[in-house]
Structure 1
């Protein structure tokens, strides 16, 4: 297997774009090579099977959604309260909104997980780890809410992102106002 991590990341980023733009059926090694501008066979060299490619995309999405340590440290100096919790949620939405290909690819993977057990296994393991990390972070930071509230926020943010990326309803709420309402209602 090829070891160039920069090229591997670039190929995974190209795969994320392909997945977001063409859906799971359009995700082929050849399509990734074309999107990355690499010679034919390069993606296959880095990701020998479709399952390897999908696992790499899941991992890369995780990397791209990882919080910025400096932003986390600036929040850590604040009092752990509802306002800080809302700011953490805004940061999650900001990271998801930075490149629409990332959440769209993630939604495509979730749909594919309903059809393919291997995708469900890879994506499910990553999502569960991310959820457990969020619960642990919330506990360690003394933020309000617990496991159930974190789950409710995951569900709500997924819906908010899907709505914003597809056919948004005109609720009259900005994203910030929606987050404030979610925090107020879930953390009563």
Structure 2
């Protein structure tokens, strides 16, 4: 297996684009090579098999969805109240929908995980870790609400994002934003 980290990252990023565009069944080494603009056969030198490529694509999506340092600093500044909570949820929705191919690829991976126990295990652990990190961050932040509110918002906002990306004419961006505010208002206590 080749070890050039930049090339591997470019191939995994190309795999994400292929997953979003063509679905899991369209994810082949050749399709990744074409999407990455590399010679045919390159992807097969970096990944032992298709499962390896699927798993690494799933991990890379989560890396790319993480907030940057400036966003994290902003989340810690100011009064930690329900208004701040809503601001953070709006930022989250916008950040995730801005990487639409990543989220769509993640949906493809989740569907594929219903048929691939190893992938299901990897994604289950990754999502579990993501939820635990979010709950722990929330507990340390001083924001109002509890772990249940964090998890319920996680679940609700994921589906709102699915609708925004797959059925963009269902709700206007303004209505989606309004619904995020309503969710926070109803799930998070004032003080």
What TM-score do you get using the length of structure 2 for normalisation? 0.92
Partner of 1:35: 35
Cα drift, residue 20 of structure 1: 0.5
Structure 2: 5+ residue stretches without partners: none
Aligned residues: 188
What secondary structure sits across from 2:13 in the alignment?
helix
What per-residue deviation string (whole Å, max 9, x for no partner) do you get for residues 1-25 of structure 1? 3222211111111100100011110
CA deviation profile, 1:94-134 (whole Å, cap 9, x unmatched):
22111210110011111111121111111111111111100
Gaps in structure 1 of 5+ consecutive residues: none
Question: Deviations for 1:113-162, whole angstroms, at most 9, x for unmatched residues?
Answer: 11211111111111111111000110111112222111111111111011
Structure 2 distance, partners of 1:183, 1:55, is: 33
C-alpha deviation, 1:171, in angstroms:
7.3
For the residues of structure 2 that align with 1:157 and 1:171, how far apart are their CA atoms? 15
Runs of 4+ residues deviating >6 angstroms: none
Q: Corresponding residue for 2:185?
A: 184
Q: CA RMSD in A?
A: 1.5
The question of 1:60 aligning with 2:46 is answered no
Q: Output the TM-score relative to the length of structure 1.
A: 0.94
Aligned to 1:150: 150
Deviations, residues 19-52 of structure 1 (Å, cap 9, x unaligned): 0011110111111111111112211111111121
Secondary structure of the residue aligned to 1:174 is: helix
The answer to whether the aligner puts 1:10 opposite 2:10 as a matched pair is yes
